[in-house]
Structure 1
C-alpha cells in the first residue's frame, strides 16, 4: 500500500483519447512526474512542427515531457529511470520494449479500447462497430511480452447504439476510460487490484474477435453484401479512415467517393451498385437486400458535405454507377 501523495506516475500517450485520462489524473491530484509522447512532426503545407495533444496538455499542466525517437535509446532510458516512477500508465501510445515497461516497481498498465481478450490489436473501436456488436468497453491490464495479452486489472462496459459511429464510440469510450484509469490507480495504491490471466475470460468454444490495423483496401465498400453489413462497415470506419467506393460518371471517368453517414432504407427495386437520386437531397445506392440512403459524403479533392450540398454541384449522380 502506498499513499496517494507519495505515488510517482509516468504517463505515456499521444492523441486526444489519452488526454482525457491524463487530465483525470491531474485533476485528481496524482503526482505525474513525467509524460512520454511522440516527437513533434512537420505537418500541413508550411510543414510546421505539430505537437501531440498529450504534449500540449502536459505543458499547460507544467509536467516534464520526454519525446524519444527510439524507446531503447540509452539517454532516454536514463532520463526515464531518473524520474523514479512507481507506476507507468499507457494510453494510446506505441509498443514498449521490456526495458521500459518493466522499469517501475509497481508495473506498467495499459488502457485498451475493448473488452479484452476480444479485439486485441490496433483498431478495436472500428472492428466492434463494423461487426455490429451491441456492446464494447474498456480494459486496464498489466503489460507483458505479447501485445494486449497481459493480466486484466479491471473493465467497464458500454453499449453501442445502432446509430453510433466509430467516432461517437471513441468519444464516449474516452470518458469511460478516464474513469477506469482513476479507479485502477486507486485500487493499485490500496492493494485492492486483483489482476487475472486473460485465459480466465475465455470460455470453451469462444472465438476471439481480432482488431488488426485497417488499410485502405479494407475500407472499400462491397455493395453485393447485405444492407446491414454495409451500413455497419460505413459507420465503423467513420469518420476515420472512412469507407469508400469508386463510381464511374457518364463520361466513363472513375471518381473516388468517401461515405461517412447512411440510413438503411426498406427493400427496394434499386439494383446492387446502382445509384438513384431525386437530384435535390436524396442519394440511394442499392445493396443485396435494400438500399442505403447516403447522408454525408466526400468526393476526392472536395470537402465533406451533406447529400443536398453534394447534389447542388453533382445533379447527374443517377447517371453514374458503382464500379
Structure 2
C-alpha cells in the first residue's frame, strides 16, 4: 500500500509530539484524525490551556476531526475513533491506550519512545538517561500491546549524549530524530518491509527504568546525608538530567535553592576542603565540596526568587 494513502490517526500531547505530526502533514500523509488530552486550567490564574498538539492541529488541519476524550474507553470516543476508519494509529507522548483502541487499525498502533528500548521504559526516559550518565540514547518505534513500553520493536535510531548535554538539549535532538523515525516507520509498515522484534523478557535482562519524576527525586542531598557523601560527577549528572525542568534542588541556608546549571572540578592534588557548606568568594563563584571534587553552581533559583546567574545572585547576597 502507498504510505500516502494510509488513513492515519495521530495521538499526542506535548511539544515533543508536535514535530512528528508536522512532518506527516507537510510530507503529504493522510492524517484523518488527531487525538489529544482535554483542555485544562493551569498556572496561577487557572487559565484554560490547550495541548501543544491541539494548537498545531487546529491551525494546520482545521478540517480534520480533533478528539479530546476524558476516558479512552468511553463508548462515544470508541465509536468516534472507529468512524475515522484508521489503517494505522501513531502515538507520541500520549496516554496508555485500551486494547479496543490500539487493536482497531488494520496495521496496528505504534508508539515513539525516547529511549533505546528495552532500556528506560517509563514516563521520563530522557531525564533518567542523563541522570545516570549515559553516553548514548535514542528513539524507538514499537507496536502497542497490553504492557507499557513492552511491544515489539519496529525501528530504532541512536543519539550520542555529550558530557555537557542536559535533558533539554537531548529532548530537542530526540524530537528531531524521532520525527524522522516516525515517517520511516509509516513508510516501512505501508510497504511491509519492517519485521517487528519482540523485546527481551525484563526478568532476563538488566534493564534501567525511567519512572515518573517527583520532587523528592530532584533532591541533591538526601535526608541525613551531606555533600561529602556524593561523588561530584553523579551530582553534576543529576543537575543536567533535571535541567531545565523540573530542576534539581537542595537546602541553602534557611531556604531551598534550585541548581539549574553547574560544572564540576576534581580536587587539586593534596587539596582538603575545610568546609562542608557552600563556599564563595562573594563575587564570582558559589561552590560546595563533594566526595572527590568541587561542584560549582552556575545558575540558580532561590525559593521565592527568579532564576539568575551566580554572579548576579552574589551581587545581591551577603556571604
Is 1:15 aligned to residue 14 of structure 2? yes
Report the alpha carbon displacement of residue 3 of structure 1 after superposing the two structures with TM: 1.6
Query: CA separation in 1, counterparts of 2:233 and 2:275?
Result: 14
Change (3 A) 1:83 1:130: same
Report the alpha carbon displacement of residue 207 of structure 1 after superposing the two structures with TM: 1.0
Query: CA separation in 2, counterparts of 1:104 and 1:303?
Result: 48
Compare 55-64 and 262-271 and name the one that shifted more.
262-271
Q: What residue in structure 2 maps to residue 67 of structure 1?
A: 68
Report the alpha carbon displacement of residue 186 of structure 1 after superposing the two structures with TM: 0.5
Cα offsets for 1:217-259 (capped at 9, x unmatched): 11110222101111111111111111100122xxxxx201000
Cα offsets for 1:77-131 (capped at 9, x unmatched): 1111101110000000011111111111110000000000000111111111111
Report the alpha carbon displacement of residue 199 of structure 1 after superposing the two structures with TM: 2.0
SS in 2 for 1:150: coil
Query: CA separation in 1, counterparts of 2:56 and 2:215?
Result: 31
- Structure 1 unaligned residues grouped into runs of 5+: 249-253, 317-323
Query: CA separation in 2, counterparts of 1:14 and 1:271?
Result: 50
Change (3 A) 1:128 1:271: farther
Query: CA separation in 1, counterparts of 2:213 and 2:262?
Result: 21
Q: What residue in structure 2 maps to residue 264 of structure 1?
A: 264
CA contact (8 A) 1:12 1:91 kept: yes
SS in 1 for 2:200: helix
TM-score (norm 2): 0.93
CA contact (8 A) 1:88 1:104 kept: yes
- Structure 2 unaligned residues grouped into runs of 5+: 222-226
CA contact (8 A) 2:90 2:111 kept: yes
SS in 1 for 2:145: coil
SS in 1 for 2:186: helix
Query: CA separation in 1, counterparts of 2:274 and 2:94?
Result: 45
Query: CA separation in 2, counterparts of 1:43 and 1:213?
Result: 20
Q: What residue in structure 2 maps to residue 79 of structure 1?
A: 80
SS in 2 for 1:265: strand
Matches within 5 A, 1:1-323: 2-62=1-61, 63-199=64-200, 206-222=205-221, 223=227, 224-248=229-253, 254-267=254-267, 268-271=271-274, 273-316=276-319
Change (3 A) 1:64 1:284: same
Cα offsets for 1:188-207 (capped at 9, x unmatched): 0111111100129x8x9741
Query: CA separation in 2, counterparts of 1:186 and 1:81?
Result: 23
SS in 1 for 2:170: helix
TM-score (norm 1): 0.92
Query: CA separation in 2, counterparts of 1:306 and 1:195?
Result: 48
SS in 1 for 2:272: coil
Q: Where in structure 1 do 4 or more consecutive aligned residues deviate above 4 Å?
A: none
